[in-house]
Structure 1
Amino acid sequence: MIPGAFAYACPQSVGEAVGMLAECGEGAKILAGGQSLLPLLRLRSMTPKLLVDINRVPQLRGVREEGDSLVIGSMTTQHDLLHDVLVQRNAPLLAAAAQMAGDPAVRHRGTLGGSVTHADPAGDLAPVVLALDGELVAQGPRGLRTIPAAAFFVGHLATALEPEELLVEIRLPKAGDGWGFHYEKFQVSAQAPTLVGVAAAVRCENGGIAEARIALANMGVTPLRAATTEAALTGADATEAAVARAAEGVAEGTTPTTPEPGHSTVYRAHLARVLTRRAVLAAVRTERS
C-alpha cells in the first residue's frame, strides 16, 4: 500500500527536532532507522501529520564511557552495537542480542533508540536494557529527563515518553567482575518475530549465584522482569538442577499473547522455562573474572 500524506522535516540538531515535536504534538512521529515505522506507514496503521527524520543529528550517534556507565546514543545502529569495542567490553549482553536482531540489512539501519521506543514486546533489545537496569534519557522543551527502564515500557507499543520528547541516549551500568551474560531466544523461522526471548545477567560468587537479573521478551504486552526466578536464583548453586528449579516459576505473572495457532500460552510458558535455564547456565559459563 501507499502511505497517507504527511509533512517531512529533517532537523540538524536535537534542539531543532524537539522544537518540531513540541509544535506538532501527537501528530508528529520520529523516523530513526525506519525498520518498524515504514511498514506501519505503508499499511496506514499509522498516519502522522509530520515525519521528523533524525538521521542527520550527529549528537545522537556513538558510544562513550562516563564513570561506571556506558552511554549509547539513541541513533546508534544495531550493527554498531555488535561491533563496538566499548559495548563488547562493558555491555556484552547488548552485543549478543544485537547479533540476533533481524538480519544484516535490518541491523545496518535499525537503531537502539528506535527499537526501545517502538516498544514491541517481541523486540530483542528492550529486554536487555531492562535486565541491565538501564536508564533512558529524553530531551523535551523543559530539558533532559531520565527514565528508569523499569518505568519506561508502559503498554503495547507504548512508552513513558511525552509526545514532545526525543530519546537521546541510553545509559547502562558497566559489566563488573563476576558477572556473566547471555541472550537466548526462539523463533519459528529466521524471518519470524521472537516467540520468546530471555536476557540473563548473573553474578557468581564462591561457586554459587549471588545475584540474577532475568528479562523476558514477548511474554506480555511489555518486556518483563522475571522477579520470581530472580529471587529463586539468588543464593542458589550454579548447577543445572538448581537453575532448572529456579526457572520453573519464570512464567508466573506473565500474560503472553498467542500470535499464531499452535503457540498457546502453555507452550510459551514451557519455552520461557527452557530458554531461561539455557540462558542462565550459559551466563554462568561466561562469568567474568
Structure 2
Amino acid sequence: MKPAAFDFLRPDSLEEALRALHDGGGDARIIAGGQSLVPMLNMRLARPCMLIDIMRLDALANIEEKAGEVVIGAGVRQAALERWPELASRLPLIAKAIGWIGHVQTRARGTVCGSLAHADPSAELPLVLVALGGSVRLRTARKRRSVPADEFFLGMMSTALAEGEMIEAAAFPVPAPGTGVAFREVGRRHGDFAIVACAAVAETEGIHLAISGVDDRPRRFPVPPPGDDGLDDALNEIAWSLNARDDLHASARYRRELVRRLGRRTVEEACACRS
C-alpha cells in the first residue's frame, strides 16, 4: 500500500518545527528516522496531514552528559549512539542492549527518541529507559516538561505526548560507581522484537529488574539478590502480575517461564558485574 496524501515540511529551526506542530494540531506528526512511522504510513495506520522532518536540526543532534544524566537529542540516530566513545563507560546497559535493537541497517536510520515515541512494548530502548529510571523531555511552542519513563509509557504504542508536543530529548541516568547492569533477550531471531527481554540494575541500595515483551509496556520491579530464598518467589509473583497473552510468537505460559528463568539469570549477571 501507499500512504495517504500529506504535506511535508523540513524546517530550518526547532522553533519553526514547533510552530508547525502547534498549527497542525492532531493532524501533524514529527518524523525523524522513519523506521516505525513510515511502515505505519504505508499501511495507513497513521494518516497525518503534515509530516515535519527534524533530522537536519543541529539543536536535536547532540549527546551530552549533564548532572549525572546522558541527554540524547531527538535527532540522534541509534548508530550514532552505538559509536559514541563514552557509551560503555557512561551507559553500560545501553551498550549491552544496543546490538539487539533491530539490525545494522535500521539502526543507521532509526533514532533513539523515535523508538521511545513509538512505544512498542517489546522494544529495547523503552525497557532500558525504564530500568534506569530515566525521563523523556517534551516541548511545545510554549513550554517544556520532563516526564519520568514510568509515566511516559501508558500502554501499547501509547505515550503521554500531548497534542502539539514533541520529544526534545531523552535523559538516561549514569549508573553510580559500583552498580552492576545486565541485559538479556529471547526472540525468534536476533534483531526481531523480543518475546521477553530483561534488564537488571544492581545498586548498593537495591536491585531492580525491568521486563518487556510481556505486558503492554515495560515494567520495573524491586527484587531480592541472588542467594536470597525470596528471589524465586518474587520472580514468580512478577510473572503472574504481568498481563501475558498468547499470540503467534509465544504462549502466555512460555512468556511467564521466561520471566522466571531469564529474570534470574539477568539479576545474577548484574550482581556479578558490580565493581
User: Please, what TM-score do these two structures have when normalized by structure 1?
Assistant: 0.90
Asked if structure 2 preserves the Cα contact closer than 8 Å seen for 1:251 and 1:269, the reply is: yes
Aligned-residue offset at 1:175:
1.3
Asked if structure 2 preserves the Cα contact closer than 8 Å seen for 1:82 and 1:96, the reply is: no
Aligned-residue offset at 1:184:
0.7
Aligned-residue offset at 1:51:
0.8
Asked if structure 1 preserves the Cα contact closer than 8 Å seen for 2:101 and 2:191, the reply is: no
Classify 1:40/1:278 alpha carbon distance in 2 versus 1 (closer, same or farther; 3 Å): same
C-alpha separation in 2, matches of 1:105 and 1:281: 32
Aligned to 2:247: 259
Asked if structure 2 preserves the Cα contact closer than 8 Å seen for 1:70 and 1:172, the reply is: yes
Aligned-residue offset at 1:141:
2.2
C-alpha separation in 2, matches of 1:286 and 1:241: 21
Q: Does 1:144 align with 2:144?
A: yes
Aligned to 1:178: 178
Q: Does 1:117 align with 2:117?
A: yes
- Write the deviation string for residues 222-274 of structure 1: whole angstroms up to 9, x where unpaired: 1112x3xx1x41xx4x449765454333313211233306x221111111111
- Write the deviation string for residues 173-226 of structure 1: whole angstroms up to 9, x where unpaired: 21111211111111012353211111111124xxxxx4112211121111112x
The 5 A counterparts of 1:71-150 are 71-150=71-150
Aligned to 2:200: 200
Aligned to 1:221: 216
Amino acid at match of 2:237: G
Aligned-residue offset at 1:133:
0.7
Q: 2:264 aligns with which of 257, 273, 277?
A: 277
SS in 2 for 1:146: strand
Aligned-residue offset at 1:9:
0.6
Classify 1:102/1:241 alpha carbon distance in 2 versus 1 (closer, same or farther; 3 Å): farther
Asked if structure 2 preserves the Cα contact closer than 8 Å seen for 1:250 and 1:276, the reply is: no
SS in 1 for 2:194: coil
Asked if structure 1 preserves the Cα contact closer than 8 Å seen for 2:199 and 2:210, the reply is: yes
- Write the deviation string for residues 96-127 of structure 1: whole angstroms up to 9, x where unpaired: 22111011001111111000010000111101
C-alpha separation in 2, matches of 1:140 and 1:116: 17
Runs of at least 5 residues in structure 2 that lack an aligned partner in the other structure = none
Classify 1:92/1:41 alpha carbon distance in 2 versus 1 (closer, same or farther; 3 Å): same
C-alpha separation in 2, matches of 1:88 and 1:220: 29
C-alpha separation in 1, matches of 2:244 and 2:26: 29
Aligned-residue offset at 1:148:
0.8
- Write the deviation string for residues 12-60 of structure 1: whole angstroms up to 9, x where unpaired: 2221111111001111111111111111111111111111111111111
Q: Does 1:188 align with 2:188?
A: yes
SS in 1 for 2:86: helix
Asked if structure 1 preserves the Cα contact closer than 8 Å seen for 2:100 and 2:191, the reply is: no
SS in 2 for 1:248: helix
C-alpha separation in 2, matches of 1:241 and 1:81: 39
SS in 1 for 2:18: helix
C-alpha separation in 2, matches of 1:243 and 1:257: 24
Asked if structure 1 preserves the Cα contact closer than 8 Å seen for 2:200 and 2:210, the reply is: yes
SS in 2 for 1:75: coil
C-alpha separation in 2, matches of 1:245 and 1:202: 18
Asked if structure 1 preserves the Cα contact closer than 8 Å seen for 2:135 and 2:146, the reply is: yes
C-alpha separation in 2, matches of 1:20 and 1:99: 35
C-alpha separation in 2, matches of 1:173 and 1:190: 27
Aligned-residue offset at 1:6:
0.6
C-alpha separation in 1, matches of 2:52 and 2:246: 34
Aligned to 1:207: none
Amino acid at match of 1:103: H
